[in-house]
A and B are shown apart, each in its own frame.
Chain A
Amino acid sequence: MNSISHARPAFLEQQFDDPLQQRESSVFGMWAFLATEILFFGVLFLGYAICRWRFPVAFAEAAKHTDLVLGSIETAVLLVSSCVVTIALRDLRLGGRRLAAALLLATAMLGLLFLALHGKEYYDEFHEGLMPGVHYTLAQPHAVHMKLFFCLYYFITLYHSLHVTVGVLLLLAMSWRTFRGGFSADYTTPVEVTSMYWHLVDIVWIFVFPLMYLVGR
């Protein structure tokens, strides 16, 4: 079993015996990480659910201030990006390089587009006076509890955007490494793990969008 003496591919780290073990460890590690991420967002969604249950009218009222059009476009952008990254991975596994690199770059660009659109939303909301603690001008009967909605909205979407940002950086790095020939058909693990992370970012948004934008409209 002394695999140190066998010929080891360059990408194989010393603690692993063979590429399969390395790949399984990385993928399993990413799954475990995603489980903790789900708990992070889970707590926020739980807090949101409880507040919404306590103040249904205020929350329905506040949710109407979200931008349904931009939100829908953002959803579409993220869904497309998840598809693109999967095609990139597929191409890489089939031995591709340039197309895969381009598709990874495209995914990152879609992520940036998402961030830009969301930035536009924040910009509009700032001008509407919907930012508690920064610029908040609502004064209707439920305004105090609508504040709760907005705080959770900003916290959850900003936390999600932080994940998108990390994902974009990872995708850019993967695209560059792919372009430089860092991966091959038998070594795609970092791209695979990155794409798993990107899917999580996508799935979280699929929960955020209906919870924040759609319910109660």
Chain B
Amino acid sequence: MSVISPAFETPAPIGHRSFYDEGNTLWSWLTTRDHKRIAILYAISITFFFLLGSLAAAMIRLELVTPAGDLWSAETYNKAFTFHGVVMVWFFLIPSIPVTLGNFLLPLMIGARDMAFPRLNLFSWYLFAVGGLFTMAALLAGGVDTGWTFYTPFSTMFSNTNVFLVIIGVFITGFSTILTGLNFIVTTHSLRAPGMTWFRLPLFVWAMYAVALVMMLATPVLAMTLSLIGLERFFGVGIFDPAMGGDPLLFQHMFWFYSHPAVYIMILPAMGVASELITCGARRNIFGYKFMIYAIVGISVIGFLVWGHHMFVSGMSLYAGIVFSILSFLVAVPSAIKVFNWTATLYKGTIDFTAWMLYAIGFVGLFMLGGVTGLFLAATALDVDLTDTFFVVAHFHYIMVGGSVMAYLGGIHYWWPKFTGRMYSAAWARFAAIMMFVGFNLTFFPQYLLGWAGMPRRYHQYDPQYQLLNVLSSAGAAVLGLAYLLPIIYLAWSLRHGAPAGPNPWRASGLEWLTDSPPPKHNFEVTPVVTHGPYQYTP
């Protein structure tokens, strides 16, 4: 029984076989139960879906360069934004950080040899893939035009596109999400290394745990709601159809009961990643560790109670509006705490501007802007004007793209040496991070102005006075698109030509840095024993 402290003294490379050496055939990958390999399977799949969703986004932005709807037909445009939403939400953002970084790192960070249910983990990936195939099939069969929100009665009685295929795809992927959440929860509960108490867990693990809870408790509601839509389309039942006495608002309630927590499924992991990156990049322990945990848990709990703020103008009663408004203000408090604590962490630190630190700092800024504009939408009187305009589009892209995607890429850069054992070009990585930040703001900041000027979302053609801002936004999208391609190139390059990373290139604390890069099959030669908290940095 040996004791290793989780501080950042770098152990000598052990030089054992890495998990990549356990077989190189396609079969060995498709039948693996190793959480690290499954994470890589996921990483490849979600990158594919990200590119696909980005293509749809490019179609949208190209159309909106001119006010007239002249590039694509209205049908094509509507299918493009629907596909963009469906793919980006369910096949990129919701899985992104949990299934790649989370899958790879959660067992490493708590000192476990694998997930609690490795077979289930692989099964989740297959479900994800099958769900993806159904969605792709819907695309090939002609697409779907309901918007990712599937509002009834449009989706049930009026759309004659492939709604059913997409619903099946999302339904199956939902199961993948549920099972991943279940695996994370049981793993965190049961497989922590000796001495790894709850308040010694890294914030990333806490974020994974909270997100897993939300995944498990919200996704079943979506699955059943979508099944009911399928039922209506097939059998003409009228649960959501007013012509038969049903209630279209009931659908919206059920849909947002899932989809608002889903927003937290997308952003909580990003918060976890940012916490790890900032504390290491500033070489300073995270400020207010316990409050950060309370904030994570608070967000995931209150997040279940605010779904109605999507429906202030839907015909919901005044009193429901009041309740959902105040709850939406309350859920912003823990987010504010997190922003302040990240900032305070930098104080008296020793800050290195590595690429991932740039991503993390960019994340805080963009998340803050997205969060503050969220308050405008929580204020019911303003929401009446701003909802369903580009203001909302800008708001959630600041959270989803500026927040989640930035954090995801930051995490990829931070843990890349751990995943692959190789270093990438620091200069190119910094350049890409800055370019992404610039491109992102150029794309989405004008959309706030468009929304305030009154341009509704999901518009195929628009009035000429909105053109200047739309052109700016499309130009920004071009910069952003190029910036997204850069990491794919230099990270691929690093796989072959990058310098060997060693176990702990960033001198970070945390159990994952104690083992080889890339780690051996069972992660640790010796199960670590934890004697103190997660962050042991001195400036």
A–B interface present (Cβ within 8 A): yes
Residues of chain A touching chain B, judged by Cβ–Cβ distance below 8 Å, are 1-4, 13-17, 21, 24-25, 28-29, 32-33, 35-37, 39-40, 42-44, 47, 50-51, 54-55, 132-133, 144-145, 147-148, 151-152, 155
Known: A33-B182, A35-B216. Contact between A15 and B114, CB under 8 A? yes
Is the pair B118, A15 in contact by a Cβ cutoff of 8 Å? yes
**Nearest chain A CB to B281's CB is how many angstroms away?**
32
Q: Which of B55-63, B217-225, B427-435 binds A? A: B217-225
Is the pair A40, B223 in contact by a Cβ cutoff of 8 Å? yes
Known: A29-B116, A54-B245. Contact between A132 and B236, CB under 8 A? yes
Q: Once the chains are docked, how many angstroms separate the CA of A17 from the CA of B231? A: 46
Q: Which residue from A2, A15, A47, A151 sits with its C-beta under 8 Å from B235? A: A151
Known: A25-B186, A29-B116, A43-B221. Contact between A155 and B227, CB under 8 A? yes
- Chain A residues within 8 Å of B186, by CB: 25, 28-29, 32
**Please, which residue of chain A has its CB at the minimum distance from the CB of B195?**
A1
Q: Once the chains are docked, how many angstroms separate the CA of A40 from the CA of B178? A: 11
Is the pair B113, A40 in contact by a Cβ cutoff of 8 Å? no
Interface residues of B in 227-263 (CB under 8 A from A): 227-228, 231, 234-239, 244-247, 250, 254
Q: List 5 A-B contacts (CB under 8 A).
A: A29-B186, A36-B216, A39-B221, A148-B239, A148-B244
The answer to the question of B200 belonging to the interface, with a C-beta cut-off of 8 Å to chain A, is: no
**On chain B, which size bracket covers the interface?**
35 or more
**Please, which residue of chain B has its CB at the minimum distance from the CB of A51?**
B239
Is the pair B236, A40 in contact by a Cβ cutoff of 8 Å? no
The answer to the question of B191 belonging to the interface, with a C-beta cut-off of 8 Å to chain A, is: yes
**Nearest chain B CB to A55's CB is how many angstroms away?**
6
Is the pair B178, A15 in contact by a Cβ cutoff of 8 Å? no
The answer to the question of B467 belonging to the interface, with a C-beta cut-off of 8 Å to chain A, is: no
Is the pair B114, A151 in contact by a Cβ cutoff of 8 Å? no
Interface-central residue, A1, A16, A17, A28, by most chain B CB under 10 Å:
A1
Is the pair A15, B113 in contact by a Cβ cutoff of 8 Å? yes
Q: Once the chains are docked, how many angstroms separate the CA of A47 from the CA of B193? A: 44
- Chain B residues within 8 Å of A29, by CB: 116-117, 182-183, 186
**Please, which residue of chain B has its CB at the minimum distance from the CB of A14?**
B113
**Nearest chain A CB to B260's CB is how many angstroms away?**
16
**Nearest chain A CB to B177's CB is how many angstroms away?**
10
Q: Once the chains are docked, how many angstroms separate the CA of A25 from the CA of B527? A: 18
Known: A25-B191, A133-B234, A151-B237. Contact between A39 and B217, CB under 8 A? yes
Known: A29-B117, A36-B178. Contact between A21 and B254, CB under 8 A? no
Is the pair A155, B231 in contact by a Cβ cutoff of 8 Å? yes
- Chain A residues within 8 Å of B465, by CB: none
**Nearest chain B CB to A58's CB is how many angstroms away?**
9
Q: Once the chains are docked, how many angstroms separate the CA of A86 from the CA of B107? A: 35
**Nearest chain A CB to B23's CB is how many angstroms away?**
16
Is the pair B235, A132 in contact by a Cβ cutoff of 8 Å? yes
- Chain A residues within 8 Å of B189, by CB: 25, 28
Is the pair A15, B239 in contact by a Cβ cutoff of 8 Å? no
Given contacts A32-B185, A155-B228, 15 further A-B contacts (CB under 8 A): A15-B116, A15-B118, A25-B116, A25-B189, A28-B190, A37-B220, A39-B217, A39-B220, A40-B224, A42-B220, A43-B225, A47-B224, A47-B228, A133-B234, A148-B244
Is the pair B245, A1 in contact by a Cβ cutoff of 8 Å? no
Q: Once the chains are docked, how many angstroms separate the CA of A147 from the CA of B117? A: 42
- Chain B residues within 8 Å of A4, by CB: 522
Residues of chain B touching chain A, judged by Cβ–Cβ distance below 8 Å, are 1-2, 107, 112-118, 178, 182-183, 185-186, 189-191, 193-194, 216-217, 219-221, 223-225, 227-228, 231, 234-239, 244-247, 250, 254, 522, 526-527, 529
Q: Once the chains are docked, how many angstroms separate the CA of A65 from the CA of B216? A: 36
Q: How many A-B residue pairs have CB under 8 A?
A: 112
**Please, which residue of chain B has its CB at the minimum distance from the CB of A54?**
B245
**Nearest chain B CB to A207's CB is how many angstroms away?**
15
**Nearest chain B CB to A148's CB is how many angstroms away?**
6
Is the pair A55, B245 in contact by a Cβ cutoff of 8 Å? yes
- Chain A residues within 8 Å of B190, by CB: 21, 24-25, 28
Q: Once the chains are docked, how many angstroms separate the CA of A39 from the CA of B236? A: 25
Q: Which residue from B194, B221, B223, B522 sits with its C-beta under 8 Å from A14? A: B522
Is the pair B237, A1 in contact by a Cβ cutoff of 8 Å? no
Q: Once the chains are docked, how many angstroms separate the CA of A133 from the CA of B236? A: 7
Is the pair B236, A35 in contact by a Cβ cutoff of 8 Å? no
Q: Once the chains are docked, how many angstroms separate the CA of A54 from the CA of B244? A: 11
Known: A35-B216, A36-B182. Contact between A50 and B1, CB under 8 A? no
Is the pair B115, A1 in contact by a Cβ cutoff of 8 Å? no
Q: Once the chains are docked, how many angstroms separate the CA of A37 from the CA of B221? A: 10
Q: Once the chains are docked, how many angstroms separate the CA of A28 from the CA of B238? A: 39
- The list of the 7 closest CB pairs from A to B, nearest first, reads A133-B235, A39-B220, A15-B114, A151-B237, A43-B224, A25-B190, A29-B186
- Chain A residues within 8 Å of B522, by CB: 4, 14
- Chain B residues within 8 Å of A37, by CB: 220
- Chain A residues within 8 Å of B2, by CB: 2
Q: Once the chains are docked, how many angstroms separate the CA of A1 from the CA of B529? A: 8
Known: A39-B221, A55-B245. Contact between A32 and B237, CB under 8 A? no
- Chain A residues within 8 Å of B219, by CB: 36
Q: Once the chains are docked, how many angstroms separate the CA of A15 from the CA of B33? A: 11
- Chain B residues within 8 Å of A33, by CB: 182
- Chain B residues within 8 Å of A40, by CB: 220, 223-224
**Please, which residue of chain B has its CB at the minimum distance from the CB of A58?**
B245
**Nearest chain A CB to B523's CB is how many angstroms away?**
10
- Chain B residues within 8 Å of A2, by CB: 1-2, 526-527
- Chain B residues within 8 Å of A16, by CB: 116, 191
Q: Once the chains are docked, how many angstroms separate the CA of A9 from the CA of B144? A: 53
Interface-central residue, A15, A16, A21, A151, by most chain B CB under 10 Å:
A15
**Nearest chain A CB to B80's CB is how many angstroms away?**
31
- Chain B residues within 8 Å of A155, by CB: 227-228, 231
- Chain B residues within 8 Å of A144, by CB: 238, 244-245
Known: A14-B113, A28-B186, A43-B254. Contact between A36 and B194, CB under 8 A? no
- Chain B residues within 8 Å of A24, by CB: 190
Q: Which residue from A14, A50, A51, A152 sits with its C-beta under 8 Å from B114? A: A14
Q: Once the chains are docked, how many angstroms separate the CA of A213 from the CA of B220? A: 25
Q: Once the chains are docked, how many angstroms separate the CA of A4 from the CA of B527? A: 9
Q: Once the chains are docked, how many angstroms separate the CA of A151 from the CA of B227? A: 12
Q: Once the chains are docked, how many angstroms separate the CA of A153 from the CA of B86? A: 30
Q: Once the chains are docked, how many angstroms separate the CA of A3 from the CA of B244? A: 63
- Chain B residues within 8 Å of A51, by CB: 239, 246
**Nearest chain A CB to B316's CB is how many angstroms away?**
15
**Please, which residue of chain B has its CB at the minimum distance from the CB of A133?**
B235
Known: A25-B116, A40-B223, A43-B224. Contact between A147 and B217, CB under 8 A? no
Q: Once the chains are docked, how many angstroms separate the CA of A32 from the CA of B182? A: 6
